[in-house]
Structure 1
Amino acid sequence: ALIALIGMILAPTLAQAAGRVVAPRGWAESSAAAPEAQRRASRWKDALGLRLEQVASAPDDDRFAETVAVFERPDPVSAEVMEDEQTAVAELGRVVANVVGADPPEASGLSTTSTGEVVIWARWIVDELAYHCVLAPTGDDATVVIMAVRARELDDELGRLETMATTIDGVTAPMPRFSLTAWRGGALLVWLALALALHAAMLRYVDQEDDHSQAGRRASVINLGLVVVGTLIAYFGLAGRELAISHAGGSREGLTMWVAVAGMIVAGAHFLIASRFDRGVVQSAPESGVFASGVYSNADILRSSITRTNMRMREVEGSEAADGEAVPSRAADLDSEPIEVGRITVDPAERE
């Protein structure tokens, strides 16, 4: 609960707004855009099934208004897609297929924006129109840009289109890969390795040689303290990967909680297992006696104590019997009278 509360206060917002195109000087945007451009963008919106974020158009001084439309796609652009140009272009073609058709593009590639991020672009010629399309990663969603000009004017407009494609606001790095399974398994392995290392280190400081019980208990207590430290490190260390964790189906707080619980389970199991080892070697064993072998256990100490107590009781009873004192019978009641034991004298004549 505490980790979740900290996450709500400190964690940045996961949602990332769609990018926006910087319209050239003299172009109109939104409701001021040319009616033809607005109608064209609306048709694209219906064909793509995406949310329309921005419409811009060139001055309506001829029969055709050059149109730029920006759409928001709810799915992010993964790092795997951006690693290969062919895969990236295929992804863009799949997104805009309902507008430009299924034919391969006339030209395509990856471009670097003014902020250093990479976007995917491709160009199609369909029905005397040239479509310059862009797919840009923008956090946990993606931005799709479609720019349309007349095909015969493409050479004149190409520089402007490429400039708009590389100056999109809000472009981020693609969604990095993140494996929840690998992180969870890795956290468990780290705690196990740490427990073993601490156990081995504590064996050097135990009172008796090879006392795994004492070493294990000490190591598990230290490990519990390290669980707190490790949990905080994991929480703040994952701050920059929240989008990837969210895209993988997890959360920063949930993964941090897993790290903490795994550490506590390992420390608890270490303590319980180590407590079952009660044998060791006394480092300065005596030359004789019950500890002469140097090997001891808690059970040995208990049995030795009982045996020595019984021996002392027998010595006392024997001494009292030799002095003629009353010795209570083991079979008698606690309230029964003591039996007098005296010395018997035999006459030499009776021996004959």
Structure 2
Amino acid sequence: MAGPVHVLDDYYLAITLLITIAYQLFFFSIAYTCKFDKLTDFAGGTNFVILAVVTLALSGRHNARQLVVSLFIMVWALRLSGFLFFRILKTGKDDRFDEMRSKFFPFLGFWVFQMLWVWVISLPATVLNSPNVQQYSQHAFGTGRDIAGIVLYAIGLVIESVSDAQRYRFRATNDRASICDKGLFSLSRHPNYFGEIIVQFSIYMIAVSSAADGYVSGQAYNALYATILGPFFLTFLLMFISGLTLSERPGAKKRYQSGNNWEAYSRYLNRTSILLPFPPQIYERLPTLVKRTIFLEFPIYVFDPSKHSDAAKGQNPANEGGANANERRSGDGLVAEA
């Protein structure tokens, strides 16, 4: 079988970046010109598939680890883009673009961020398939680390898929005052985020297994371990940029100021873990310090009416639009709904 094809650099970083930029700019031109929302998340999800297929094809020699890692990221991306494509077909348009759809640079900014999201999270598969890693003889697939990665991937994908379906069904059959506290959402306020994080770390775990067992060395060893940037970037994105920070406090503020079943929602916040699934009967009894540390419910997520409401700030709630129902997120193609 032919060896790997060297393109621009030994880790396929440049070629995957160029493909991602070109692919996203192509769909951006359609979305901006036609004011068309239906292809945005489709473009993000399918971009992962293209990068995995291209780097796998260029690698020449296909070992089991490459195939599994590439397949896993493709399955995750196709499930995500398929779900989001189905959802946008049902809703007709994407409300998060109402303020930027006709503004070139703000709208382009979203697409640039989507380029970064795709390229960085694809790094474990990209580097694993690259010539500098393929030059080493890799050990057989199926070690304990590999099996653990497969099990974690399956758990994460099921959690993410089931929670997306549960939330979609809930919103289709309930009004805005209702609280989605059934199924996985009774154990975590954001089980889809939790599942997505597990998926990405499990892919990384399998990708670096050869390096961890000493079958890869030198710069290739360092490059493989450096791809942890992918799952860390996703986690940071969900927790501090476009996920929890845009849904937790803004969503609570909107409910409080509109009087939208606030007391029940406040109790739900108090008894339900923000991210890590945990029995609510136990969680609500935990000290605040434990919730803030072990369970990652940082103060930036917490809404305190005495500090954060418009009344406390001396503003007029009538002029406050509240948090948008649709929030940006990495896991739903950079979109989350509050």
TM-score by length of 2: 0.26
Structure with the largest fraction of helix: 2
* More contact order relative to length (CA 8 Å, sep ≥ 6): 2
Question: Larger radius of gyration, structure 1 or 2?
Answer: 1
